[in-house]
Amino acid sequence: MKKYSTIYYILLLLIPLSVISCDHDFLNTKPRTEITADDIWKEASLAKAYMYDIYFTFQDAGFTEELQASATDEALFTHGREFRETNSGAVTDVNLGWFSKTQSGHQWARLYRNIRSCNDFIENIDDATFDDANKKQLKGEAYFLRAYFYHRLTRAHAGVPLQLRVTQLTDDQEEFLIPRSSYNDCIDQILSDLDNAANALSDKTFANTQKGRATLAAVKALRVRVLADAASDLHDEATATAKVPIFASYSNKELLFYTKGSRTDRWVAVKNAAKDLMDNPLGHEIPTYGGAGLTNEEKADAIWRFFHKDSPDHIFSRYFIDTKNESGTHMPLFNGPSGYHAWGGNTPVQDLVDAFSMADGTKFSWSNPEHAANPYKNREARFYATILHDGMKWIDRPSDYAVEEPTGTIHTGYYQLDPSSNDLYAGMDTRDGGGEAWNGTYTGYYLKKFVNPAAGDHRTRINAVFPFIRLTEVYYAYIEACIELGELDEAKKYLNELRENVNLPPVTTTDQDELREIYQNERRLDFYFEEHRYWDIRRWMIAPTAPGINSLKGIRVTAKLKPGVGKQARHEHDEARWTYTYEPIPLTQEDRKWVDKCYYLPIHRDEIHRNTNLIQNPGYGN
């Protein structure tokens, strides 16, 4: 008789169970802390608890102490750890860097455990004895989640073993030694699962489905993402082998590349799948962030507030509730400024900060004297919604720190207070300041997006929602497909709609390469800290020339008293009293550099020892 794991038992304690009657033959009495397979398929409440446990794979989602943003050119993790190996190309088949950790959500063994649970549902739910409506929804969710988990595996490793049934210890040993399937077969299987999920979830929408559970829109949106991955440069054999020598010499190319149809066919499939959901978004809509007519300051505030709550843009998300002590409720603590008793964990790097345009849509450039003298002035609205920089008004300090810095303004610079001395006072939010210096930023910035200090204190738990998939992503996939198909006017039509919603002027270029570059930067900024950039850099194969992947920079802010200004008791950002200089500086906390093997993660050596039929990815040995 099968018994289910302890984590299921914990969940099931929350569900009313029938009281076991007294029986002198107590050896035949089933313990209350155990359930069997037969029990699960008899009661919808038990089956739902089992399904919720599969969803718990997303326990931390994208809100945890160590964020995927710090494994790419979005952020630096202040406290180092495994990001050093990840970002220096030092990943090996025995050290997967940050991706070996539960927080990454991409652990091989964990994903396969949950795939097994999905298989269990798919094999048994039809024979369940509870109502058909619950059976249909749960089966659709099992297909969706299996597709999602295989999608995560293929993003990290390309072709992987397709385990599509529940194996038992009594099965033939070969059932546990499944070789990697081709990338083609993996994509076909994912798309097949999504077809089955769509059929079962055909009536499940944003309006009538419990938040956090799969809907038809989630199924369709995941299909768009999977097709876009398959159509991208990384999975096109001719493109990828021309750029990467270790791919050209790899003897198992079928594991890496998608060979179905032409590249045009693949991008047409992306375009059609995206347009299908755009034309009938099933209750979802892209955000306008307060609509037209807002000032840049008002627009920035609207964008910042948008990411604090649920919205019709969210298609598939993880929800955190402030009454539960979960990682997502601690985003402000994990990432807020050190001068607010927060940990300053994942801080924006200079390359990302420079990617935000000026308010008029022109590029920011340190070569422009006006930009260099005032890098935080006249920037686009998303900049002010995303980045906490020196001199920016934030919230009131905690009472103990307000004694030293009462203005509630970010202080990440070094300031002269006495005109007779060249000594500089370290700002409260620096690593030399009066806050929690060990949590201070190295880059000179802190994260603002997703950081919502409830009750004016970063230590207070918050309600939060992490978006795995938004309708906005579907729009971006449609735009990308149009660019790759040479349909530039159609691409600009929708790209300019998204830009208008953030107060940016329309794009007018008629050059495909230039439009592609603009598109990639827009996508980078719109999905900042949403776990897109790591994968986008790889599928576009731009990592070798991406500055923030191959170097690490922050900012040094210095304020000198102007002539005639006397001694100051403290610094308050004031350009009438101080002259501010801004110097991008190299940082030594990580030796960032790109290594071609890092287009994919290796399969851990332990897994290869368990299954000798597994073939390793290129660049990681046998």
Residue 401: closest CA among 459, 325, 461? 459
Break the chain into its structural domains and give their ranges: 322-462+553-586
Q: Decide: residue 199, CB within 10 A, 0-12 exposed, 13-18 middle, 19+ buried.
A: middle
Contact 174, 201 (CB under 8 A): no
CA distance to 217, 277, 315, 368, 516, per residue, from 283 (Å): 9, 10, 10, 45, 30
Q: State whether the Cα torsion 421-422-423-425 is positive or negative.
A: positive
In whole angstroms, give the CA distance from residue 76 to residue 89: 15
Contact 376, 540 (CB under 8 A): no
Q: What is the pLDDT of residue 34?
A: 65
DSSP string, 522-570: HHHHHTTTTT-HHHHHHHHT-GGG-HHHH--EEEEEEEEEPTT----SS
Phi, psi at residue 545, to the nearest 5°? -115, 10
Estimate to the nearest angstrom the gap between the alpha carbon of 572 and the chain centroid: 36
Q: Would you give the DSSP letter of residue 3?
A: B
In whole angstroms, give the CA distance from residue 503 to residue 436: 37
How confident is the model over 63-114, as pLDDT tens digits?
Answer: 989 999 999 999 999 998 899 999 999 999 999 998 988 777 888 999 999 9
Chunked in runs of 10, what are the mean pLDDT values of the chain (622 residues)? 39 34 37 69 94 88 92 96 93 92 83 95 95 96 98 97 82 78 98 98 96 97 98 98 98 98 98 98 98 97 97 96 92 96 97 98 98 98 98 96 96 98 97 94 98 93 96 98 98 98 98 98 98 98 98 98 97 97 97 97 94 96 71
Residue 592: closest CA among 152, 66, 95, 77? 77
Side chain identity, residue 223: R
E-strand stretches of 233-313: none
pLDDT, the chain, mean:
92
In whole angstroms, give the CA distance from residue 221 to residue 494: 17
How confident is the model over 503-522, as pLDDT tens digits?
Answer: 999 999 999 999 999 999 99
Alpha helices in 463-532 (DSSP H): 471-484, 488-500, 512-526
